[in-house]
Amino acid sequence: MINVTGSLLERWKDVPESDWEDWHWQIGNRVMTYDGLKDILQLTPSEVIGVKRSKGRLLMAIPPYWLSLIDPMRQTCPIRRQAIPTAEEFEVSLNDMEDPCGEDKDSPVPGLVHRYPDRVLLLATEKCAMYCRHCTRRRLVGSETHLTSRQNFEQAYDYIRSNRRVRDVLISGGDPLMLPDETIEDILKNLRAIPNVEFIRLGTRMPVTVPMRVTENLISIFKRYSPIWVSLHFNHPKEITKRCKKACDMLADSGIPLGSQTVLLRGINDRPSTMRRLMHELLKIRVRPYYIYQCDPAKGISHFRTAVSVGINIMEKLRGHTSGYSVPTYVVDAPGGGGKIPVAPNYVISQAKGMFTLRNYAGNIFTYYEPAEEGQMQRVVPNQNKQTKKEVKTAEAKTAA
């Protein structure tokens, strides 16, 4: 039997561990209806409306594992808010867009997005284990009906093969780990057979939402087509459970590099302390924080969006204050399809010929003198950054102590 620790987990206490640990069982037992959910959780009026209306695109689907992480006493539980639709999803704001990243216009063949010169995005499926309420691709995912066809894949392979500049393929969706192992192997085999493809990445949230999906067989497939890089999607430290760690350990122990993308979400991870904790916990499970995304203006998710200044403030509190490995790049995906734009606090105070005035993470100001250009005299300036003798002595005394 499963190890019952949380109050919601009680509900599945009679489920044999072999079932609980089977990802097919987790998918087959997702809670997808109002009647199913109201028996498990006391819903707020807004959730009742949201759950009842979320049909068609981005329906509700919550695996038992994810449900077991919900704190039933907290309506603001970050696990709950990412999974349960609310009435706010049906409010469309002025600047909301159907396709905020402009992917459809950069799609040369169905299921493929080609925006940057040397890399493409292969949308391998429209299904996910859980439909995140903040999903930016909600126009495409979540209907559970329309499957990507074999013909689409063939067209995508032909396109990649005939565009020799494409060296990097990101397999995403939806969640490609929703596909059967044989299909995943088939995709990897076909991509590896294309001479210009050097780098294959797979974007998935399943090691977070249904960690049981990481099986020995899946790992052996990844190893056969190595190197495969895996991009995960974590938004809150609560998602990093022992079970999730086990899945990430299996991947990392097999030599699969792991990165994480995080979406900045109002009321979920918009406090610097929460984000710092998340980044630290990721490093502990050998997942390198890669991006923090500003939440896109997709239709119906404006209640998750924050001001850009919130993200900049988070970066200010990370850079220099903690290990560089736990500092991802904060990006805004340019609305309409301009790609990712890095946004950061401004560390350059001023710039003049041959010199930069910079500030560090603690607010101290420094001048950096650039080398002279070829054929010009090196400018001789007093070294303002040099410590005084007294400062050196104080530092030495502190070290000796």
* Residues labelled catalytic: 115-116, 119, 128, 132, 135, 137, 296, 333, 340
Instruction: Annotate the chain with three-state secondary structure.
Output: CCCCCCCCHHHHCCCCHHHHCCHHHHHHCCECCHHHHHCCCCCCHHHHHHHHHCCCCCCCCECHHHHHCCCCCCCCCHHHHHHCCCHHHHCCCCCCECCCCCCHHHCCCCCEECCCCCEEEEECCCCCCCCCCCCCCCCCCCCCCCCCCHHHHHHHHHHHHHCCCCCEEEEECCCHHHCCHHHHHHHHHHHHCCCCCCEEEEECCHHHHCHHHCCHHHHHHHHHCCCEEEEEECCCHHHCCHHHHHHHHHHHHCCCCEEEEEEECCCCCCCHHHHHHHHHHHHHCCCEEEEEEECCCECCCHHHCCCHHHHHHHHHHHECCECHHHCCEEEEEECCCCEEEECCCCCEEEEECCEEEEECCCCCEEEEECCCCCCCCCCCCCCCCCCCHHHHHHHHHHHHC
The residue among 30 and 205 lying less far from ligand SF4, judged by its C-beta, is 205
Name the minimum Å distance from CB 175 to ligand SF4.
5
Minimum distance of ligand SF4 from residue 174's CB (angstroms): 6
Closest CB 178 distance from ligand SF4, rounded Å: 9
Minimal distance, residue 173 CB to ligand SF4, in Å? 6
Of 194 and 269, which has the nearer Cβ to ligand SF4?
A: 269
200 touches 189 (CB < 8 A)? no
Q: Which residues bind ligand SF4 (CB under 6 A)?
A: 128, 131-132, 135, 137, 141, 173-175, 205, 233
**Nearer of residues 175 and 185 to ligand SF4, judged by Cβ:** 175
Least Å distance, CB 166 to ligand SF4, is 22
User: Please, which residue, 101 or 194, has the CB nearer to ligand SF4?
Assistant: 101
Nearer to ligand SF4 (CB atom), residue 31 or residue 135? 135
CB of 139 or CB of 167, closer to ligand SF4: 139
Give min distance, CB of 365 to ligand SF4, in A: 41
